[in-house]
Chain A
Amino acid sequence: MASLLQVLFDALSLGSLYALGALGIALIFGVMRLVNFAHGDVIAFSLFALLWPSTDAVAIVFAGNLPWFLLIPFTLAIGAGLSVLSELVVFRRFRRANPATMMIASFALGFVIRYFLLMLFTSRPKSIALLPALSQPVEILGARIPLLQLITILVTLAVLIGLTLFLRRTRFGLEMRAAAENFTMARMLGVRANRVIMGAFALSGALAAASALILGSQTGTANIMMGANVMLMAFIATVIGGMGSLAGAVLAGFLLGAIATVMQVILPPDARAFRDAFVYGAVILVLIFRPQGLLSARGAKERV
């Protein structure tokens, strides 16, 4: 029973991480059909922004020493800021480009961000102690769950509820949903395109920063490649969820987390190292049977 509960919490916390990433990618895809390959590097950047540039193995924590109630908004602002900046400098000029061109541009932008970090911090992973109080375990029904895992799940739930309320109850959220549904029509009805897109980028960047905080305190290391794996899973979640469908992205994120955790438990020990390969294989299988994703967004179908 206790171990079952442990598996459940593992699945939920891993799924939360994937869901946050998927949401960040689906938000931008929804408003401008951009598959943002720079998302993973925004995650890494948000964490490295807390450190002082150095080449040592142990990070010189700079802004990371702030108390948590300042640290969290600071990191979120960094993520949102970088994301908005990338919109202003790069993606704004690609409004009329086709999705493939935009995708490659974002790939290039991610590369630039990553090597900018490499220039300042080298490629060596750095150990950091971020919010150390969170690694203590708590006991729930006989299972020892790291406090961080619990907080990850709660934070993700809070973000999801907050975002749902924001999208459903505010004018800006309404505009954003309208733009995701049919961008041209929304513009004709007076939705200000640039504001909506900027908002989507800011939200997505803040979500990336939230992933960065969770990843950073979970692993205790900062690595310039740290975003890549989460981003890849997040992409896959958005594709399985049906491109552009926010609910689908979240659902698929949790599903991927669950599949990965369950595989970790049921695979024989020799095969555990290949867990990710099995997950990617499962994804390809899902795509054969539902190429449009589990919950396909209405605008995403190809029209003739």
Chain B
Amino acid sequence: MTRGTILRRTIATPLILSALLVAIAVLAFAVGSRPFNQTVIDLFLMVIFVVGLQVFVGNSGVISFGHIAFACLGGYVAAWTTIKPVLKSAAMPGLPDWLMGLEIPFWAAAIAGALWAALWAGLFGAILMRLSGIAASIATFAMLAMVNAIYSNWTSVTAATSSVVGIPILRTTWPYLAAAVIAIFIAWAYAISRHGLALRAARDEPTAAAASGVNIPRARFIAFVLSGAVMGMGGALYAHSIGLVTPDTYYLGLTFTTLSMLVVGGMGSLSGAVLGVVILSALIQGLRWLEAGVQIGNSTFALPGGVQEIGLGVVMILILMFRPAGIMGNSELSLPRRRRGGAENPGQTGPNT
């Protein structure tokens, strides 16, 4: 099979997913309510995070608990480069002079965040990608805790655990939509590249892949750096969506939310990653709405705080029990094919010959 055929057969997936996101953005624009707008922004950010996570976890099969650390790196890059110098010198006096005077637009900060995160993903990845299975997962957890410990204590540069405020807030959905679409196309392009194919082969049959000449640590390393970059971009934009950063914004809570979205959708599938975000965001929003209280007749009915997270956890356990491969499994959303209709795995590129 040539590259052209793979491209033509799979291009429908990112296009459908992007169209879905555009439809959501247009809906938010048409409704015009500010809380709904914010919800949609959150959804796009989660798409970036979960797609970034999927690039590594989905293709390599190694669960990573540490990717939110890269979002943290990206988020602080946004704080370092976009806050007004006056505010910056008060909150983070330890920054070098050239960084102190810098004030760049958000998109440049997102790119800088991606590059900074990719750099650290490269450094960590060079070490961690030698491990596999559970040892690798726990080492990524150690990486998350390490980054959190550093950013929570390095007072002069990160203001320790107190929040760094003054990051310019972006309230329109379009930049987030653009970034989410870019993330989807990056993930797709990686998945059909030779590195992506090699890594998936190593995920399914490590011995056979190694015997066919796949350098597994190297293949994992490439995916790790790429997904780190996507997470860094997401982290920087996340900082712009709420206007502040703290180390604990990017810690266990976000790790759990993004992992559950990925697992619910289906780790092995890009469509699963996006659908998982959409479905769980709707669920979370519904539960939040109930927590805030609903008027039924004369009485207000409200669930106690914490129900949202409990609900999320329970849904995740149930999905793992009954559909361990997630909603999408390993398949992708795709247009029905004209010839040879009803292939059992639409979107799969089939055996390479």
Contacts and interface: CB of A to CB of B under 8 A. Distances in A.
Interface in A255-304: 273-274, 276-277, 280-281, 283-284, 287-288, 291, 293, 302, 304
B132 A232 contact: no
B305 interface: yes
B269 to A, nearest CB: 16
A144 to B, nearest CB: 28
A259 B275 CA distance: 45
B13 interface: no
Interface stretch (A76-84, A108-116, A127-135, A155-163): A108-116
A111 B128 CA distance: 26
Contacts of A276: 145-146, 149
B153 interface: yes
Interface string B300-331: 00001111011011101100110010000000
A95 to B, nearest CB: 11
Interface stretch (B71-79, B100-108, B172-180, B255-263): B255-263
Contact of B141 (A105, A109, A119, A232): A232
A277 B141 contact: no
B34 interface: no
Contacts, number: 121
Interface string B138-163: 11011101100110011000000000
A20 interface: no
A119 B137 CA distance: 30
The dominant DSSP class at the A interface is: helix
Contacts of A232: 141-142, 145
Contacts of A105: 316-317, 320-321
Interface string A73-108: 000000000000000001001100101110111011
Interface residues of A, number: 41
B192 to A, nearest CB: 24
Interface residues of B, number: 42
A17 interface: no
A277 B305 CA distance: 33
B324 A118 contact: no
Contacts of B149: 274, 276-277, 280
Contacts of A93: 321
A157 to B, nearest CB: 27
Nearest to B262: A104
A104 B313 contact: no
A99 B305 contact: no
B316 A108 contact: yes
A302 B132 contact: yes
A118 B291 CA distance: 14
A150 interface: no
B142 A108 contact: no
B304 A280 contact: no
Nearest to B325: A101
A273 B313 contact: no
A30 to B, nearest CB: 13
B306 A111 contact: no
Residue of B130, B135, B321 with most partner-chain A CB within 10 A: B135
A28 interface: no
Given A232-B145, A280-B149, A287 B306 contact: no
B307 A104 contact: no
A284 B140 CA distance: 9
A228 B252 contact: yes
A245 B153 CA distance: 34
A239 interface: yes
B131 interface: yes
A108 to B, nearest CB: 4
Given A280-B149, A281-B146, A119 B310 contact: yes
B320 A97 contact: yes
A100 B137 contact: yes
Interface string B118-134: 00000000011011111
B320 A104 contact: yes
Contacts of A94: 320-321
Given A100-B137, A302-B132, A115 B143 contact: no
A115 B310 contact: yes
B127 A112 contact: no
A108 B150 contact: no
B151 to A, nearest CB: 10
Contact of A280 (B61, B135, B142, B312): B142
A235 B153 contact: no
B150 A274 contact: yes
Contacts of B313: 108-109, 111-112, 115
Given A94-B320, A232-B141, A243-B134, A107 B304 contact: no
A108 B128 contact: no
Contacts of B61: 100
B270 interface: no
Q: Which 8 A-B pairs have the closest CB atoms?
A: A119-B306, A273-B153, A112-B313, A280-B146, A115-B309, A115-B306, A277-B149, A108-B316
Interface of A: 35, 90, 93-94, 97, 99-101, 103-105, 107-109, 111-112, 114-116, 118-119, 228, 232, 235-236, 239, 243, 273-274, 276-277, 280-281, 283-284, 287-288, 291, 293, 302, 304
13 contacts: A97-B320, A100-B63, A101-B320, A103-B134, A112-B314, A115-B307, A115-B313, A228-B252, A236-B138, A239-B134, A239-B138, A274-B153, A283-B142
